[in-house]
Structure 1
């Protein structure tokens, strides 16, 4: 089945090039030149991944990401002309899954998108099935997480992070290990990316957040 990609970029030349690369790789591509059009397309179409620029007319990328996260956990890759660390952290706080800084290689962007879709659809090499521990139920097929029977909404990166921590319960996992396993070895972020996602994950887990323990100068471990 072809996957639907929404590319949101106001610079037409860059958008055209990116659209061509994804189309040549067999994707159905929807495109938007502003934030409001992106929201409209997302509401009308079944979108599997969003490539989202930050600087957009009408609605900026931050606002688009925030609105979409209220209704969906679709993977979002944000594009930015800045490498400012605070910008990236804000994006992760809003629910972005990954960042790509301009100028970028369209081939690399397509490769990252494919890898993210495989992980999101459970075909990235993880064992499929259900996990139940300490009142947390994780279904790797449906990607549904429940805490004491109540479903919580996680982004794809949060889901992968929680699953990996649980699968390695009792083991101290360094931030570098988590970056490599969840974001990939070609990811150029830093340790603060992990800390930001752990913070958001703990907030969503509520009382169960105590299971994710900080090990000073070492990393994190899941322990019930």
Structure 2
């Protein structure tokens, strides 16, 4: 059994814009979080390795190192959730950050309620992993039992192909988070599959036809245009 790690709502904010940094620190402290702040990548990494941090909020445009380098360094030895908050809104920047190991990506300007919602999703996911929850996932009327390899929708069995089951299981394990096309291709087909997303889109379309009441307006699997997909957590 893996070691249980308590989640104490300890956040590290790495942001060089003082106005945004102070806003996030004040707002999140008011919501009950313990916040550490840094305005450079080096200071942020120093705090992270010396203090117990549950989640990192990270700007990409830092004065000393690019935020992408921070993601890489953290992921060398920690799976603590990382939420990127950045003015960079290009799809390639989002995909790069997520593929390097970021858990989520918010484009500036963003609302305080959206930031709070993303933090709660990431911390809930971390807590579930630490508690080794039973491999039965659910959202709405959709239930996935990993051990029995069984899917049910509104109390009715849903017959999934092995790849459809693997795809849905991976989305459930990352519920509420954006999963990029490349992450899914790697999970389903391995590195050799390259960057061809046509088969992935076809597989996703088939899965949606089986679990969505209206595949054109999906309730469960949301498309993040140009980036990937997100399984809703509501």
Give the greater-gyration-radius structure (CA): 2
TM-score range normalised by the length of the shorter chain: 0.5 to 0.7
The residue aligned with 1:129 is 134
Correspondence list, 1:1-224, <5 A: 2-122=8-128, 128-129=133-134, 170=161, 172=164, 182-184=174-176, 193-201=179-187, 217-219=202-204
Give the C-alpha shift of residue 199 in structure 1: 3.6
Q: Is the 8 A contact 2:98 2:180 kept in 1?
A: no
The verdict on how the C-alpha distance between 1:102 and 1:218 changes in structure 2, with shifts beyond 3 A counting, is: same
CA distance in 1, matches of 2:64, 2:173: 37
User: Where in structure 2 are there 5+ consecutive unaligned residues?
Assistant: 1-6, 138-145, 152-159, 192-198, 208-234
Task: State the Cα deviation string for residues 26-60 of structure 1 (Å, max 9, x = none).
Answer: 11100000100011000001110000000001122
Could you tell me the TM-score, scaled by structure 1's length? Answer: 0.65
CA distance in 2, matches of 1:167, 1:16: 47
Any idea what SS the aligned residue of 1:26 has?
A: coil
CA distance in 2, matches of 1:104, 1:216: 29
Any idea what SS the aligned residue of 2:120 has?
A: helix
Moved over 3 A (4+): 166-171, 173-184, 199-203
Could you tell me the TM-score, scaled by structure 2's length? Answer: 0.62
Q: Is the 8 A contact 1:178 1:194 kept in 2?
A: no
Give the C-alpha shift of residue 198 in structure 1: 1.8
User: Where in structure 1 are there 5+ consecutive unaligned residues?
Assistant: 132-139, 141-162, 207-213
Any idea what SS the aligned residue of 1:128 has?
A: coil
CA distance in 2, matches of 1:104, 1:37: 24
